[in-house]
A and B are shown apart, each in its own frame.
Chain A
Amino acid sequence: MRRRFLMVAIAAQALGGLAYAHEIDKTSPYDPEVEDLTIRGEPPMMGIHWDREMHGSIHAKRKGNNPDMTYHGGKILPHTVTKAIFWGSSWASNPGDKITGIDSFYGGFGNSHYAGTTTEYSGSNGQVGTSSTYQGHVIDTSAASGGGSTSAILAEVCKTITPDTSGNGYYPVYTDIPRGHSGYCAYHSVGTCGGTPVQFAFFWKLDGDAGCDPQDTTTGHSQGLAALANVSGHEIAEAMTDPANPGAWYDSSGEENGDKCAWTFNVPNVTFSNGSKWKIQGEWSNAAYDGGAGYPNSSGQRGCIDGH
């Protein structure tokens, strides 16, 4: 009796696993007509053989000619409540001009023309606006982590700030860790602190980092601050228009408004609402592209606006 019961239990377990496997949605998030058959966490299939024609096979996705971003059903940030976090032991002794500079950056971002580059976009909770409250910064001199774990950055955010109850809190974390060979200068993400939604961003230390350098020669900022300011603009603009899951605004390649205009600068610098000046990339505007009013991105698509 007991043996029969155990066999039934094993069979039920196996069938349960099969049932679960069938529940996995393989639909591509970028195209609902596409079924994603990528092997996920499974050993390689036996017997795969590519013929000569399949070597390096690439097939351009037929996206049409319109590079505009489309809406994916998610929320946006109608306004932002920002508090910067400087994480790492060196911030107490050797901040240079970066802490005061970042304070000035966010202090002047609200109601700037640059913030206005995002206001054509709306989401399930309204329209992106230029209003932005800056609550200053906090310094945590404990040893910082790198950017490899978003959960470690979120944990730092939840440790150091009290999240804004509106859910529009944006918490950029500036570490004192150099980028090394990572392929990104910064990123933004989303999570919760005690149940309250928070948007946050991670930044490497970019001093002397040519791969993340906007090559600012006009504002007088240090190279490290200029680099942080440029990617800070990139990240907050993306967080405003595509902060969470489900996503809001990005294109058919998955690029957000900052990605589409990365490393393109239409003017030597942009003046913020507090008079501070920054060399900062433009942001993608569907309206500008459609109206032929933007400047070209690195692919020559004239949809970037500089917010000067």
Chain B
Amino acid sequence: MRHLIFALLVGHALGALSQPNNLPPGVRGGGAGAATRSVAAYLDRERGLIGALEAGQRDTVQQMLDEGFEVRSATDADATPAADWLNAELRNAKANGGATVRNLAVREFDGIAVVNFLLDSTRVVNHRKTVATKYVVDVWRMNPHQLLVRYVSQPARVPPIPSRPTGRE
């Protein structure tokens, strides 16, 4: 009997957890922010990189990458070389539905900018578009502006795609 009551309480708690977070009372929308100069600038750079890949502009992309550019993730001990990454990206950009950047933040250090953001990628699976989100950390050299290395991970939790702009898309 006590176990049943406990199970009932646990079930109720899990049910509550499954519901989306409500906004605080009286607040119907999130903040829509004026990005700093650096956030605005790196939003442009990341979108430019995406746009060049979409357009199949291999040379443009290569100019944005440092000679030793590589991609690293938790799923592989080895880095992915620039050429392999670029070939795959150009192929995928044709086959898939696009990507958007959000929640971008920047920390600038001595000649280096560390940029992190969520990347919502659209794919077509069984004739249905789906979105998957990755967490990306890009390290840019600031002079000349080139991407040195990219780190990618599958986030355990991500904030939902906002129902309206937040200013940090």
Q: What residues of chain A have their CB less than 8 Å away from a CB belonging to chain B? A: 2-3, 6-7, 9-10, 13-14, 16-17, 20-21, 24, 28-31, 33-44, 48-50, 52-63, 72, 147, 149-151, 154, 158, 179, 181-193, 202, 210-213, 231, 234-235, 238, 242, 244-247, 250, 253-256, 258-259, 262-263, 298-299
Contacts and interface: CB of A to CB of B under 8 A. Distances in A.
Contact of B122 (A7, A34, A188): A34
Nearest to B5: A6
A211 B38 contact: yes
B97 A62 contact: yes
A57 B134 contact: yes
A251 B95 CA distance: 24
Interface in B73-95: 73, 75-76, 80, 84-85, 88-89, 91-93
Nearest to B151: A56
B30 A59 contact: no
B100 to A, nearest CB: 5
22 contacts: A20-B15, A30-B161, A34-B122, A35-B131, A36-B131, A48-B154, A50-B76, A54-B88, A58-B50, A58-B119, A59-B97, A60-B99, A185-B35, A190-B29, A211-B36, A211-B37, A231-B34, A234-B34, A246-B163, A254-B100, A259-B34, A263-B41
B88 A60 contact: no
Given A13-B15, A56-B73, A259-B40, 14 more contacts: A17-B18, A35-B131, A37-B130, A38-B161, A40-B160, A41-B17, A44-B154, A55-B72, A57-B89, A151-B23, A151-B24, A191-B28, A247-B163, A250-B165
B71 A56 contact: yes
A264 to B, nearest CB: 10
Contacts of B18: 17, 20-21
Contact of A150 (B27, B36, B97, B101): B27
